[in-house]
Structure 1
Amino acid sequence: MSDSGGVPEDECLAVWCAGDDWCAVTCAMDIIGKKWHPVIVHRLLQHGALRFNELSEEVGGITNKMLSQSLKDLEEKELVDREVVSEKPVAVEYSLTERGQSLEPVIDSLEEWGKTYLRPTEDQDQSVC
């Protein structure tokens, strides 16, 4: 187990972090570096708890299958909490755990870097990102 009590070291080995038995950057990117994960975390930081369809609308461009898989993965990584808020009809809300909320400065830094160094091309819809 790592010193921070986070991801066990044996669960986070990657060949692309050559020479290290355990690499914090590799582990962090393994958790939040998947295509939709940072966007989902960002929207939950912005809006708080959201139901599946609300989150789908906020993320945009993601299929229901991919959103479901991403949420399941984020839940397994203890970044997102899933709560059934009503049973008839079934309604589920997703929110960030304390661990997920701790990503706020990382997501804010990514957003600021993107605003500073990246510009959409004329044919891109700015609302997509």
Structure 2
Amino acid sequence: MDCTNVKRDHKKEMRAVQDSMDVLSGKWKISILSSICFYSKRRFSDILADIDGISNKMLSKELKELELNRLIKRTVLATQPITVQYELTEHGLSLKTIIVNLKDWGIKHRMEIIGK
């Protein structure tokens, strides 16, 4: 393989990583996806309670972006009062392994740094 092909392949790989980061970037998206992933279906208030420091407005904004990127599905239930549930789409479920690996790494990293 010549250097031109290697460089082109590397560019393609880096573009794919950047595309992923564009969709998942920000302070809250991975935490939101994790909340939904670990519990299957979550209500807005459940996600809000799971994530320290996020505001109602920011959670609403991030959920809309994740829905636009087809990672989560929003379902309005005909209850009184109305209940809204969020769950990962089939496409969103493809992130489950990554989220579990991040959780596992986070546990190991915490042990490495502070021993807890």
| TM-score in terms of structure 1 length | 0.71
The count of residues paired between Structure 1 and Structure 2 equals 104
Distance of 2:85 and 2:27 partners within structure 1: 22
Matched residue of 1:81: which SS? strand
Secondary structure of 1:23's aligned partner? helix
C-alpha distance after superposition, 1:32-84 (max 9, x if no partner): 12211111111111111111111111223210001000100000000010010
Determine helix, strand or coil for the equivalent of 2:60. helix
Whose radius of gyration is greater, 1 or 2? 2
1:87 positional shift: 5.5
- Residue 98 of structure 1 pairs with residue 90 of structure 2: yes
Q: Find the counterpart in structure 1 of residue 36 from structure 2.
A: 44
Give the TM-score, by structure 2 length. Answer: 0.78
- What RMSD, in angstroms, separates the aligned Cα atoms of the two structures? 2.2
Q: Any idea what the Cα deviations from partners look like across 1:80-127, whole Å, max 9, x if unmatched?
A: 100101264222111110111110111111112222223576xxxx9x
Given candidates 21, 32, 46, the residue that maps to 2:24 is 32
Pick aligned residue for 2:71 from 79, 87, 90: 79
Comparing 46-55 and 112-121, the one that deviates more: 112-121
* Aligned counterparts of 2:30 and 2:50: Cα–Cα separation in 1: 13
Per the alignment, residue 3 of structure 2 pairs with none
Flag structure 2 segments of 5+ consecutive residues without an equivalent: 1-9
Higher relative contact order (CA 8 A, sep 6+): 2
Greater percentage in helix: 2
Sequence identity percentage: 35
